[in-house]
Amino acid sequence: MEYAKEIKAALTIPVMVTGGFRTVLIMNDALSLSATDLIGMGRPFIIDPAFPKALLVGEIESAPAIEQTFPESENLPRGAVLNWFCYQLTQLGEHSTVDLNADVQQGHQRYLASIELQTNKLLKIRG
């Protein structure tokens, strides 16, 4: 937050900080410390697109954080968590729903397979 606060002080436009925000307490602290004007969130929307309303009216105190249930990163292939979220985004785009039953390894492998498939299609088109 200190880095964001320094950036904000040097600018005249609003500053958004994103990444890792989950609890109302931490978000409010960041705003009250004038470290940011806006809080950016992405991953929680994959789990529950309606969570902001519940967060704002006090029904919940933190945004969904499914990644907390994942195995330790040392026990996963490099990029597996990010690829799991990318897989969920492709599911949303293709099927209008996510596949929360896919574990991290499955999501990772499925996303890599989809990249390979798309790459091969493009290479075939290029001749």
23-62 pLDDT, tens digit each: 999 999 999 988 899 999 999 999 999 999 999 999 999 9
Q: Can you tell me the distance from the alpha carbon of 64 to that of 51, in angstroms, rounded to the nearest whole number?
A: 8
Domain boundary among 26, 50, 65: 65
From the list 51, 59, 37, 104, the residue with the least C-alpha distance to 77 is 104
Q: Are residues 60 and 95 in the same domain?
A: no
Q: Which domain does 78 fall in, by range?
A: 70-127
DSSP H or E run through 40: strand 38-40
pLDDT at 19 exceeding the cut of 90: no
Q: How many domains does the chain have?
A: 2
Asked if residues 14 and 37 have their Cβ atoms less than 8 Å apart, the reply is yes
Q: What would the mean pLDDT of 117-122 be, rounded to a whole number?
A: 94
**Which of 38, 65, 92 marks a domain boundary?**
65
**Whether 76 and 23 share a structural domain:** no
Q: Within this chain, do residues 116 and 60 fall inside the same structural domain, yes or no?
A: no
Could you read off the pLDDT of 73-106 as tens digits, one per residue?
Answer: 889 999 999 999 999 999 999 999 999 999 999 9
Supply the pTM of this predicted model: 0.80
* Same structural domain, 90 and 120: yes
Q: What is the pLDDT of residue 34?
A: 87
